[in-house]
C-alpha cells in the first residue's frame, strides 16, 4: 500500500514532497509513506467497497518494503515452497515490483541496505534456479542486458520532479 501517495504519479509525489523523500519512501526497506486514512476517497475501501467489505483483516494504510516482506514471506513459505519441492517443479509468480524485491531479498539474502539499490524492470520476467534447499543458484532476466539496464534506469528516474513546460 502506497499510503498517502496512492493515486499520485511518481512525478507528482516528487513535486509535493521532494525527490529525496520520495526516494526514501520508494526504495528504503523500513520507511513507509504517510498512511492513507480508510476514510480517504482514494483508499481501496472507498474505491471498491464491495471487494473489501467481508475481509477478516484490516487493509494497511501504508506499507514499507519490510512490511511487504513480512506479509509475503509466510505466504511464500506456506504455499510456494511446498510446490517448489516437487520433482521438476516450475512455478510462475506474477506480481508487482515490491513483492519481487521482497522475494529477491529472501532468495538472495540481500541486506536491508543493499535492497534499496535493487531495481525491478517492469514487464521483464525474472528467472530463478534454486537448489534442493531452495537457495538461489542463479537468476537472470529474460531480456538482453541492454534492455534490462534501460528499464532499470527508467525505474531509477521515476519519482524525479519535472517541471511542466509552458
Residues making up the annotated binding site for substrate are 10, 26-27
Q: Enter the C-alpha cell of residue 7.
A: 493515486
Q: Is there a contact between 150 and 119 (Cβ–Cβ < 8 Å)?
A: no
Among candidate residues 54, 58, 64, the one with its CA nearest the CA of residue 34: 64
Q: Is there a contact between 36 and 61 (Cβ–Cβ < 8 Å)?
A: yes
Q: Which residues are annotated as a binding site?
A: 10, 26-27
In angstroms, the Cα distances linking 91 to 9, 24, 84, 94, 106 are 32, 32, 7, 10, 16
Q: How many residues are present in the chain?
A: 166
Q: How many CB atoms lie within 10 A of CB 57?
A: 6
Calpha distance 107→5 (Å, rounded): 29
Amino acid at each position: 500500500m502506497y499510503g498517502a501517495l496512492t493515486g499520485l504519479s511518481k512525478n507528482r509525489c516528487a513535486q509535493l514532497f521532494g525527490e529525496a523523500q520520495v526516494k526514501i519512501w520508494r526504495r528504503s526497506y523500513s520507511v513507509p509513506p504517510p498512511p492513507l486514512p480508510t476514510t480517504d476517497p482514494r483508499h481501496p475501501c472507498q474505491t471498491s467497497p464491495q471487494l473489501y467489505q467481508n475481509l477478516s483483516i484490516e487493509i494497511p494504510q501504508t506499507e514499507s518494503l519490510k512490511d511487504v516482506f513480512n506479509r509475503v514471506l509466510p505466504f511464500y513459505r506456506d504455499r510456494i515452497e511446498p510446490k517448489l519441492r516437487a520433482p521438476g517443479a516450475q512455478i510462475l509468480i506474477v506480481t508487482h515490483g515490491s513483492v519481487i524485491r521482497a522475494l529477491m531479498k529472501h532468495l538472495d539474502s540481500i541486506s536491508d541496505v543493499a535492497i534499496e539499490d535493487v531495481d525491478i524492470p517492469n514487464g521483464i520476467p525474472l528467472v530463478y534456479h534454486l537448489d534442493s534447499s531452495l537457495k538461489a543458484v542463479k537468476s537472470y532476466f529474460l531480456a538482453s542486458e541492454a534492455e534490462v539496464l534501460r528499464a532499470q534506469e527508467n525505474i531509477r528516474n521515476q519519482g524525479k520532479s519535472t517541471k511542466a513546460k509552458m
